[in-house]
Amino acid sequence: MTVDPRAALDRLLAALEAHYHAVSTRRADDDPKVDDAYDVLADAFEVYDDALVRVYSETLPFYLADDDDAEDDEDEDEDEEDADDDLDPLDGVEIEDD
C-alpha cells in the first residue's frame, strides 16, 4: 500500500501541532498525553518518510533513533567521560600545604 506523500505530510504537521499542545499544557513530568503525542508523532514521521521514498525516491535529512541507538549513545558518552578522567594528570595527586 502506497501512502500519498501529501496526505502523510498533512498528518505529520497535525501530529507536530498535537505534540506541541501536549507538551505546552503538560501537568506533570510523566503526563501520558505527552507520551501518546510522541508516539503518534514518531509514527507520522515514519509514514511520511516512507511515502517520500516510495513515491519520489527521496529521503529526509534526519531519522528517528531506535531506543537501542539512544542507549548506545549514552554508553558512549559515559565511556568518553571515563576516558577524560583518565587523562587528568593531577588525578589522585595530593598537594600538601606548607
**Residue 29 per-residue DSSP state:** T
Q: Give yes or no for residue 97 having a pLDDT over 80.
A: no
User: CA-CA distance, 89 to 93, in Å (whole number)?
Assistant: 8
Q: Which residues contact 44 (CB under 8 A, 6 or more apart)?
A: 8, 11, 12, 14, 15
Separation CA 95–CA 98 (nearest Å)? 10
> What are the pLDDT digits (tens) for 26-69?
999 999 999 999 999 999 999 999 999 999 999 999 888 887 75
Running DSSP on this structure, what letter comes out for residue 98? -
Q: In the prediction, which pLDDT does 35 show? A: 96
Average pLDDT, the chain: 83
Query: Average pLDDT for residues 4-31, to the nearest whole number?
Result: 96
Under 8 Å between Cβ of 34 and 26? yes
Report the pLDDT value the prediction gives residue 63, as an integer from 0 to 100.
87
The model carries a pTM of: 0.66
